[in-house]
Amino acid sequence: MADVATLSCARCSKPANLQCPKCVELKLPREAAAFCTQDCFKASWSSHKSVHVKAKQSDGTGSAENEGWLYCMKKGQNRSPKLPYFEWTGYVSIKTPDQIERMRETCRIAREVLDAAARVIQPGITTDEIDRVVHDATIAAVYIHTRGMDNMGITRNLFHKMSVNEVICHGIPDARKLEDGDIVNVDISVYYKGVHADLNDTYFVGNVDEESQRLVQCTYECLEKAIAIAKPGVRFREVGDVINRHATMAGFSVVKSYCGHGIGELFHCAPDIPHYARNKAVGVMKAGQTFTIEPMINAGDRDWS
């Protein structure tokens, strides 16, 4: 605390020669910021800090809810002066015809890879083994599309994930053997010619019970119904309404923790595509936008914890 001319303590009215440093920074009247001792200052802090908030409100720089946030932001900027600042606009890019064509090609490769994984799914195979099939199929598919490895350029799998039974998404391949009656989701993403593809399917392992069959069928129908409404002028939030209505009518629930997303030269970007009803997704679909719709439907409660 800084030394000031003798004043009366704001808490106990004793002679004071200390002043709140924040009040000094905000150029507030000394009379309201003077304290006789550090102890008096600390004892008054819970009520005194409201003076700082009111001062910020009066000049339009802050509010009671964000005072602490603004303080942390300021201190953080002081510690990291070179940290870039990006203002979020929510802009959804419109793809050029060239970008669209490159995405079509990349998605075709990813579809071929997913089909290769589907062909080996059976009881007794591990998700690690499926992962190796996916990797090899990616290299083979790109080789065919480019007529030789020398022309492949930058090509890679971002990830391939295997989610078995109660695992909602992004399960990690391991040594567990798939069993008769399991369902397994294979999630493929490929980066090729500067753009991304991201797709998945859920498969039956051997003989699957009726409820699991209904669950997978309902999820597929949710996707089809959502795709059917995708056209210029439709609000992104409507996707969730369509999916939620169909899933709940079938007796299932919609996972809220994950959503679809924009895709292209960036893997995850605007817009967000929630799959549940009454969501707050912002924006309207326009020609040339590209995004994923990834309904995740549960038998039972939507909560994944």
> Domain ranges in the chain?
2-79, 97-208, 209-305
Give the pLDDT mean for 59-80. Answer: 46
DSSP one-letter string for 127-157: HHHHHHHHHHHHHHHHHHHHTSGGG--SEEE
Confidence of residue 151 (pLDDT cuts 50, 70, 90): very low
Span of 7-16, 177-186, 189-198, 213-222 with lowest mean pLDDT: 7-16
Same fold, 97-208 and 209-305: yes
DSSP state of 202: E
Give the pLDDT mean for 125-148. Answer: 81
Angle separating helix axes 210-229 and 237-249, nearest 10 degrees: 150
Please state the pTM of the whole predicted model: 0.68
State the pLDDT at residue 47.
80
Angle separating helix axes 97-120 and 127-146, nearest 10 degrees: 140
Q: 3-state class of 287 per DSSP?
A: coil
Q: 3-state class of 201 per DSSP?
A: strand
More confident residue, 12 or 115: 115
Task: Please determine, looking at this structure, whether the domain spanning 209-305 carries the CATH number 2.40.50.360.
Answer: no
Give the pLDDT mean for 250-271. Answer: 94
Q: 97-208 in CATH: which number?
A: 3.90.230.10
Let me know the angle formed at the C-alpha of 24 by 22 and 25, rounded to the nearest 5 degrees: 65
Confidence of residue 64 (pLDDT cuts 50, 70, 90): very low
Q: Please name the residues in contact with 14: beta carbons below 8 A apart, sequence gap of 6 or more.
A: 8, 36, 40
Span of 39-48, 113-122, 132-141 with lowest mean pLDDT: 39-48
Q: Is 164 in contact with 197 (CB distance < 8 Å)?
A: no
State the pLDDT at residue 158.
46
pLDDT tens per residue, range 83-129: 566 565 668 999 999 999 999 999 999 999 999 999 999 999 999 99
Confidence of residue 52 (pLDDT cuts 50, 70, 90): confident
Q: 3-state class of 194 per DSSP?
A: coil
Count other C-beta atoms under 10 Å from residue 23's C-beta: 21
Query: Is the confidence at residue 202, as pLDDT, over 90?
Result: yes
